[in-house]
Structure formats: C-alpha cells, structure tokens
C-alpha cells in the first residue's frame, strides 16, 4: 500500500506552467498570481518555503541552496519548483535525473535564471517587472 501511494504521488501529471503557478502562489503568500484567488492562508507560505529549503533536494539540499540561492523542491518526475518569497516562483521540467533523483537540466535552468536576475534568498533583493 505504501509503495502504491508513493508511486501515485510521484506520477501526478502537471505542466511546467502549472508548476510555476504553484511556485508563484507560494511566493505570493498563497494568492494565485494568475487568478488572484487566495488558495491558502498566507501564514502557510513561510512554512512551505522553510520545508523546501531544508529538504527539497534530498541529500543535496544544502548544496542546492548554497549554489542556487533559492529554496526549491525537486521531484523524481524531473520537475523543480523554486520560491523567492515575495518576489517570484519559478519552475522547470527536464530529464535526466542525477544520483539523488533531481533533474540535471531543470536545476541548471533555474540556476541560470536566478543568476541572470542576480537574486538570492539571503541577498534581500527584489525585482521590479516593467512592461
């Protein structure tokens, strides 16, 4: 039963767009950035971000946070969801996985965007988006 439940949880179908909206919702204190709907209580966002900061990349979590500067959660399906609290959410999907079960290409993509924007959760930075 445990294996069946684990397999089902790892097999949830989601697009990169949907995953990025999830990340943006966490970063936006529970408010969906597309619909404007409050999906969960704002007090939950820091707890989610703390959890993904501490366990999001399995045994590579510390290395990930140090090298990327963004709390993130990976999945064995090849997805990576990153949260810059109060600023943005980001997501990427791509196989193959590294030895810890984290997408090699999705990690590289998220790191590249964060580096290009000059962001890091410990930097105290913010981003302004203009049209």
The residues spanned by each domain of the chain are 14-117
- At 129 the pLDDT is 66
- Cα Dmax for the chain: 50
CA distance 129 to 131: 7
Query: 70 with 83: CB under 8 angstroms?
Result: yes
- At 89 the pLDDT is 97
pTM for this structure? Answer: 0.85
List strands edge to edge, sheet with 79-84: 72-74, 79-84, 88-93
Which CATH code, of 3.40.1360.10, 3.40.710.10, 3.30.70.20, 3.40.50.300, is assigned to 14-117?
3.40.710.10
CA distance 49 to 126: 17
> How many other CB atoms are there within 10 angstroms of residue 28's CB atom?
22
CA distance 52 to 27: 12
CA distance 30 to 23: 10
pLDDT digits (tens, 9 = 90+) for 47-81: 999 999 999 999 999 999 999 999 999 988 889 99
Indicate if the pLDDT at residue 104 is higher than 70.
yes
60 Cα distance to chain centroid: 15
> How many other CB atoms are there within 10 angstroms of residue 9's CB atom?
10
């Amino acid at each position: 039963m445990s294996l069946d439940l684990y397999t089902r949880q790892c097999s949830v179908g989601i697009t990169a767009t949907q995953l990025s909206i999830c990340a943006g919702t966490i970063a936006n204190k529970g408010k969906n950035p597309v619909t404007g709907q409050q999906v969960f209580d704002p007090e939950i966002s820091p707890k989610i971000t703390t959890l993904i900061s501490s366990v999001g990349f399995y045994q590579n979590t510390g290395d990930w946070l140090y090298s990327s500067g963004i709390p993130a959660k990976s999945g064995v399906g090849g997805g990576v969801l990153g949260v810059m609290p109060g600023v943005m959410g980001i997501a990427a999907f791509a196989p193959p996985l590294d030895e810890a079960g984290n997408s090699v290409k999705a990690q590289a993509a998220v790191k590249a965007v964060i580096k290009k924007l000059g962001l890091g959760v410990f930097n105290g930075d913010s981003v302004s988006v203009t049209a």
